[in-house]
Structure 1
Amino acid sequence: MSGWSRLVYVAVLVAMLALPLGCGRSEALPTPIPRLAQITRDLPSPEPTAEPSATPAPPHAPRLLEATPAPGQELSLGEPIVLSFDQPMDSESVEGAFEISPNVEGTFQWPDSATLHFLPHEDALVRDAEYRITVKTGARSLQGLALNREITFRSRVVGYLEVSDVFPGVDAAGIAPDTRIIVTFNRPVVPLTGIDDQAGLPSPLEISPAVLGKGEWTNTSVYVFTPQEALSPGTTYTVRVAGGLSFAGAELADTFEWSFTIQPPSVSLETPLPDQILVDPNTAIVLAFDQGMDRSSVSERLQVTRSDNGTPITGRLDWLANTLTFLAEEPLERGTAYDVRLPAGSVSASGQVAIEEDRLWSFTTAPMPELVSSNPRDGAEGVDLYGSLQIVFSAPMDPETTVKALEISPAVRMYPYWQGDQTELWVSWSLQPSTPYTVTLSEEARDLFGEPLAEPLTLRFVTRPASPSIDLLTEGPIGIYSALADTLASVRHINVSRIDMALYELTPAQLVMLTREGGWPDWSRFSLSGANRLATWSLDAEAPLNSAQVAVSALPQNASGPMEPGIYLLRVGAPEVDGSQFHAFVVTGLNIMLKTTDEQALVWVTDLQSGEPVPNADLTLYDYYGEPAGSGRTDRDGLAMLDMPDQERWESVTVLAESRLGLGAVVSNWTDGVSPWDYQLPVNWEARSFRAHLFTDRQIYRPGQTVYYKAFLRLDDDGEYSLPEMGTPVQASLID
């Protein structure tokens, strides 16, 4: 809203406020309302707005805006080194501060007061050499201000153009006639253009003998020549790239020349394969050539005969491209060997070169299907319970009809699979001990070529009894048991005459030795020579053959109540079983809870009977290798905090507690039922003290270029980030 409009509204408002003042008179006189023109005429003219003025910035030290060549860019011969500053410069001081190492003579030019060109003299630069360009701090602007810091960068002079790779390779032999000729240079030779815009680009190849075809640059440094027709078999070609080829200052110094030889015609593939057996009697004989052939010269030479008597096999010949197929008029005899011969002399399609050697190979057709062998054999006894039934046939069998024709009694759930080109049928199932099995295979089983099995199969065998075994039924190798209840041992046994048991008393040191390295003892290294044997006894294990039974015994056998608190070892064995099973356990009135971090261990000791805290319990913490690593005593709440040893997070610790209620033990990896994964909770055990983010100055580099990087490092305290202390050493590793 303009100032004039506001004045109009004010005048109208004043007039409206004046109306009530005349309400008490008998005659109301109208109040004149001033016109807009009258109001504006009486107001003073506004002051003109002053034009804004620019405040000059204080002079600053000169800065380099751009340098040519840029980092990673080559310096071309005949091109200047260009330095562009952000302000006019004192030319004399800049030229005096300019250095190039190794020294290069040249001329300074100033297109404008802020841009310096240094043009090296002709032949002053060495190809493929690296130069260091420096502008020292003596360089000043026209205002007399010097550079804040020295300018330094490196540049490599454009090198020579070279042929880095060719195809076919140098002196390569046996090259296919339809090959393309490819030459790859070490740097761009032509500008980047489309395939249809290459009319003016050079064709660098000279081929002898001459070859018609088309060449194209697939990129700036790769040239591909495609012959119009297949190259001549048995011919050696020489390819030449003349010296003097150049682009962007890079020049091919010397002529590059190489040769390769095209292979003469030969058979590249034949089926059936040489010496192949179990061949389909209806198979076609196929010969694939590596190049076009004169078909009549091949067809009239091909011979297929029986190996035993030389009887020729007649059939039909068909060609498809470079592949000849022969199909016999009648199916080949089963279980018979055949020879295929192509004598030398078949010529290529060009008629210039012939196959130099005879081609001869043999194959054998599959015999009629019949049983060759089985494992177990018919009538076998004492068959292992963990094997599979193997049936070997003389010919490849049809899986569907064969498995369908197979029956096993008593009925089982079969898992069949095949091996040996489908001549071996393996059948697995859960074999039961001391069980007679009958396997039958009817004539409904057929081979892959439709022929039925010559005669049905019946196979009978009996499995052996179950192996004698005992299993001490515990939750693990080391256990904790309450001193308030009877301690019982349960042993599962099969086919043993008795169970021998022995109870030993262990020392705290022996218990620690068993709990070290994760609490899974290597019983073969544990010696009972120093243990105190308390009792030995045997349990009668009489039971039906192959019947699994569980025997339960009090510890010791004739105990009339709970065991005394202490550390014990139970050994269990049987005469029919090699070795023994062991179980170490602690009988205690204490319950110990242990929680650990990387630095501390929290121990809480309570009374198993009352659940009350146990104060003044002496604690000893042992590291992963069983060495004492800390000690302490519980407070009135049964709590104690101990320092953790310096070890890996996955390495366990053991804590022993001694009090008036006896001795208790806990190992940090006793986590069954209380682990995070028992509650489907995600866990990351890696403790990270730092968080880092790193990036480089660009995404791609050429060999030999310098990679500049920047990294941010923060201390991570449970999601709260802070700067590390100044001077903190950081190790960076580059891994290839």
Structure 2
Amino acid sequence: MNRVLQGVLKIRNLFGAALLLFLIVSIATVVLILAQQIQLPQNGPDLHVKVTDIRPNEYLNTLEPTNIFIHFSRKMIPDDSLNILFSNVPIEIEPSIEGLGKWVENDIFAFYPSASFKPSTEYLIKIKSNHTYEYGNRIDEPRTFKIRTPTLVVTNFWTELADVTEPQFWSRLLIHVTFYYPVDPQELREHLPQTLNGKLKLELQETGPSTEMTIISEPFRSQELNGKFPFAITKGLNCVGGSIPMQADYAPGITIPKPEPIVIQNVRSEGAGPNSQVVIQLSQSAALSEIADFITITPKIDFTVSQNWNEINLIGNFKPRETYTIEIKKGMHSLAGQELERDFSSKVMIEDIPPRVTFPDNAVFMSKKGSQLLAVETVNIDEVTVEVEQVFPNNIVYYLGDYSKGYFGENTERLGRRIFFKNYKLSSDLNEPLTSTIDIGKIVGDTLHGVYRVAVRRKDQRWTYDSRQVMISDLGVAARLSDNYLMVWVNTLGETKPVGGADVTLYSRNNQVLLDAKTDSRGIAVFENIAEKIKGFEPFVITVTKDGDLSYLQFSDCLISTSDFDVSGRPYLARGYESFLYSDRGVYRPGETVHLVSVVRGVNGAMPQEFPYKVKITDPEGRDFKEYKLTTKEGGISALDIEVPSFAKTGGYNLAARIGEDLIGQYSFQVEEFMPDRIRTSIATYKESYKAGEDVKIDVNGTFLFGPPCAGNAVGGHVTLDADYFQPTGYSEYAFTDPSVTFTPIQAELPSDKLDEQGNHTYHYRVSANLKPPSSLKMTLSA
């Protein structure tokens, strides 16, 4: 028993000794670490000062200049030498990069490069200096530190099939590749396959360096070529300005889906009456040129056909509460050539026209001596409420700035008063528009004048309404405003006679009186040398009063378009330089040479001294095409011969001449197979903001300048989704973003199609609900 107890005691003693030894070693280690971190007071010079830390210690950020901070083991300078920039820095960087440095702490040196570090590059940093620092300290750091910018990688890759018009029912494969850095297309071609599966030829579309590249195939029939195919970007590809190439092949492979038969998924009606439509939703886009031949409507009505991606729109005068039979014969083709395998028939009932109230006219000016009837149109409404409010003259600036285009009735007690409120019963037929009139003169009376807001609302659903602004006055106002001059004409509306002695006042947007005067016998008031008087203010509205009558002219709503006038020319050069660029002609075919001349002059046409500048050319999609470096050596005149590749995109090419970042001249030329008719294109969406997962409805309209709509013309589009900063009004002290989240812009092509007879086409683009931007997203549309 005693031996066992002695053994246990020995084990306990050994364990206690081991534990004590471990604690002693741990304490010694902590003391040693603290001794290394805490700089003890110096009694003499340290000739072997080392670097204890360097930041960043591995990766640099090439998106913006990155500073380098070096922490030394000793204090190197006194307090009075902190935060002083100098160029003789104690570090050497290879590859070299210029910059300045300063001591931000006694033992921390900061290097501030003058430019961003090169992409995909490794930098070697040596810490060395022959300088003697505080206490006689000297730097003796034998190590070489390595930091590098991220290497080139593919950040996004996707493919899509684009239908071609000729040959019919053929497609092209589009391969979209996004790189972390811009790459040169000439070098990229060396790392791309020339064909897909040895059969389908591939061609790189871009001609200038870019982060986004598109490879397109020759036309093919997807019925004959589909399945999985190998595709790889081989290693060794380098970015523009980089030194470390891709270290491995990027081989995602490509899948061309097998075409599926075209299927009709849904038939629905939208609206009733003129320009209403029946929408047929398909599993894939159909060939617009043949749709009308396969569709019949019973009862028979005249209709036109438009297409929106995979939806067919039958536009006509569909009568409310009428049932129509939509029949589609088999054999209708999709754009990929797939057929509708059997006949289709469906009935659709047109609903009633939703209740609505509309004023046919915009804001109305009414003469005190003329008709003062205001027309209003209602549909499927039995009783309305008519409301009239007067805006007080002294509140006209606030009203025009904040309330005239907003929700009627909101906070209007601050600006005026309600003078009329009455319900009216209407007698109208179901689904038939009814036009009624409101006698504003009778409501207002002979003694009142000025600005009024008239609203007509559905009695039991006040949100169904429309409103109009009405000004009752006999004063007509016209004005001419330039940088330093303002002229105002005042005439009677009824007889166009000049009004003398009228008070004319110019207000700023923040309700400050900038100028005031009276009209002369000609009805004219002239203000000269006004630049200094209106400096720092925005001229907003002119008011005119005479004998209790009031009228106004708001600049933002009354500007006359200069498109019908010769307003060509440019302002005189006040400082710096400008470049006049011109070519031998304005239109070139692919494969030709553009002969360009650039003439640089200073103020008053002075000959410039010799200095370099650059000319950059962008293609029709806004991507870099070519860049040239020129000088003003030969009297400021330089000549360029620009080779246009045979595969160059057609469209407008823009040239910009710059000295550093300052733009000094611009020019553009066209690359066309032939000179097309000029077309005006407009794009509109139904809302300004959307939620993730919502469907964005994009209306595109094309009209020939000085001609008819672009009926039947090809249409295409492009969507770009990029990160944006969300900052709601009233929450400026809060941040609504996650800086740790990065978002790569998303590029999407809208499918090729044709415009309808009115030159219109509607696209649908669904914003993915799975996107995770740092804050919000911004959508850029082009067509």
Q: Which has the higher contact order (CA 8 A, sep 6+)?
A: 2
Q: Which has the larger radius of gyration?
A: 1
Q: TM-score, normalised by structure 2?
A: 0.38
Scaled by the length of structure 1, the TM-score of the pair is 0.41
